[in-house]
Amino acid sequence: MQGKLMTSTDKRKVLVVGMGATGLSCVRYLHALGDEVTIIDSRDVPPGLKALREEYTDVEIITGTLESPLYESADLLVVSPGVSIRTPVIAKAIERGVEVAGDVELFARAINETGANVIAITGSNGKSTVTSLVGKICKAAGKNTLVGGNIGKPVLELLDEPVADVYVLELSSFQLETTQSLSTLSAVVLNISEDHMDRYSSLEDYAGSKATIYNNCKHTLINRDDDVASSLVSGGDNVVSFGMSVPKTDKEYGIDADGLFIVCGTEKLLALSDIRMLGQHNIGNVMAAMALVAPLTIPLDVISGVTKQFSGLAHRSQVVAEASGVSWVNDSKATNVGATIAALQGINRPVILIAGGEGKDADFDPLGKVITQYVKHLILIGRDAKLIEASAKGVECTHAASMEQAVAIASKAASSGDAVLLSPACASFDMYNSFEHRGNVFSEAVRNQVIEGAGQ
């Protein structure tokens, strides 16, 4: 997948596989370079089709299939993150030696020559939170900062702006599969838990795709509490770690012996009481953000000032209501087992848990063990509800046909001092358009049934 930076003099035949926002950004970028671009998508009417036809009348568009003789003649395949490079027609092209890249790889080839700083974040959970916090810290420090990737703008659209001081990129395993050349100032794999097992053959396979974020990295950050994530790095002078333990060296971020402060080595950085986000996992997210920006030598008062004001992102352990002593928490972004485990461990209250959806071939047994420890009533929705129920033996369980029904059941089951937590451990697409849609339906149901119903 290696290749040189393409310029307008390197006219190639390029086949972009997969439309959507990323595919469209690739077409725009490659077309501007003067390449001969064709785009193909298995869907009959993929998103962005109308806009693409109107904007680029000279771009050939193939829909309803991924099969095409163009794989034989293409100089370059640019594969969107939603399409696996193990798709037979793509895998065969790779075997024949056809170059394959993704949008992040194209971005890397362009930006590496500028000398700009890139901070890259991946992991099963917490990517968006850490990316957003890092971006806010850099901006508050007066640095021209652009944030994108798996959050916000596709990375190639960042190239439409003047070269930034810092690029903060959230990268998924899908994006990293086709990325080889990205050079970073600092990078992290926040954690690894089972996710996308419908796309990867094993947890090791999934972790390996994320490990490429450490290629060409000046300052490597690892989570020392995560055995799989930390095993992706063999060590070295440029490695720094974060975790919930007391640091042993000045290259470790952690918690002080009194359990009151985030520290680096022995230096106190931030009181835990100043973190507005719920859960121990968000303490780790704050540590990671602090460590990632450390090479930029941003003053501590700037870092702590931003962090104290940062309340997190919507749909991520977000308290949407407090009523009759019950907290209602929207954690719809928890689309895998690890995220829901982290949410449950961070609530510090008896929990009524709403979970379920598309399980993506995940193993729910680890979640079941945590449910039996923290959950007083389990409410299940969606396609794979029975799989979760089977893993959580001995816990009172109710099935709901809709989110509205789930909220109604939870309202009756909850007592003062409890938390009702939507943390599905599953994708949303069996019932909703996205995790945002699912979270919004939950929040609306809480507003209608709990807040307005109580006359608050």
Sheet holding 145-149, edge to edge: 145-149, 166-170, 117-122, 184-189, 217-223, 239-242, 252-255, 261-264, 267-271
Say whether pLDDT at 34 is over 90. yes
Q: Which residues make up the CATH 3.40.1190.10 domain(s) of the chain? A: 105-309
Residue 412 bears catalytic tag: no
- The per-residue pLDDT for range 59-107, each reduced to its tens digit, is 999 999 999 999 999 999 999 999 999 999 999 999 999 999 999 999 9
Residue 6 above 80 pLDDT?
no
What's residue 93's pLDDT?
Answer: 95
pTM of this prediction?
0.90
**127 vs 11, more confident:** 127
315 carries an active-site annotation: no
Range list for CATH 3.90.190.20 in the chain: 318-451
Indicate the pLDDT class of residue 236, thresholds 50, 70 and 90: confident
What is the residue-wise DSSP string for 50-112?
HHHHHH-TTSEEEES-S--THHHH-SEEEE-TTS-TTSHHHHHHHHTT-EEE-HHHHHHHHHG
Among residues 418, 405, 373, 409, the alpha carbon closest in space to that of 391 is found at: 373
Is 175 within 8 Å of 157 (Cβ atoms)?
no
Mean pLDDT of 394-398: 97
Beta bridge partners of 167: 118, 146
With beta carbons less than 8 A apart as the criterion, state whether 119 and 168 touch. Answer: yes
Residue 2 above 60 pLDDT? no
> What are the structure tokens assigned to 441, written together?
């339906």
Statement: 13-101 belongs to CATH 3.90.79.10: no
Mean pLDDT of 258-279: 97
Range of lowest pLDDT (57-61, 192-196, 329-333, 420-424): 192-196
- pLDDT band at residue 409 under the 50/70/90 scheme: very high
Catalytic, out of 125, 136, 191, 196: 196
Report the C-alpha gap between 394 and 371 in whole angstroms.
10
Question: Of 117, 125, 127, 210, which one is the catalytic site residue?
Answer: 127
Q: Would you call 12 helix, strand, or coil by DSSP? A: coil
| Known active-site residue 196 | yes
For CATH 3.40.50.720, the residue range(s) in the chain are 13-101
CB under 8 Å to 405, separation ≥6 — which residues? none
The conformation of residue 165, written as its DSSP 8-state character, comes to S
Task: Tell me the per-residue pLDDT of 142-153, one tens digit each, with 9 for 90 and over.
Answer: 999 999 999 999
**Percent of the chain having pLDDT more than 70?**
97
- Average pLDDT of the chain to the nearest whole number: 95
- Architecture of the domain whose range is 105-309: 3-Layer(aba) Sandwich (3.40)
Query: Could you name the CATH architecture of 318-451?
Result: Alpha-Beta Complex (3.90)
Q: Is the pLDDT of residue 453 over 70?
A: no
CB 391 within 8 A of CB 397: no
Distance CA 155, CA 131 (A): 14
Angstrom distances, CA of residue 147 to CA of 92, 118, 404, 435:
35, 10, 35, 21
Alpha carbon distance 230, 232 (integer Å): 5
> Which two structure tokens, joined as six digits, stand for 369?
């063990």
Active-site residue (options: 117, 125, 136, 150): 150
Residue 4 pLDDT class (50, 70, 90 cuts): very low
| Amino acid 455: pLDDT | 54
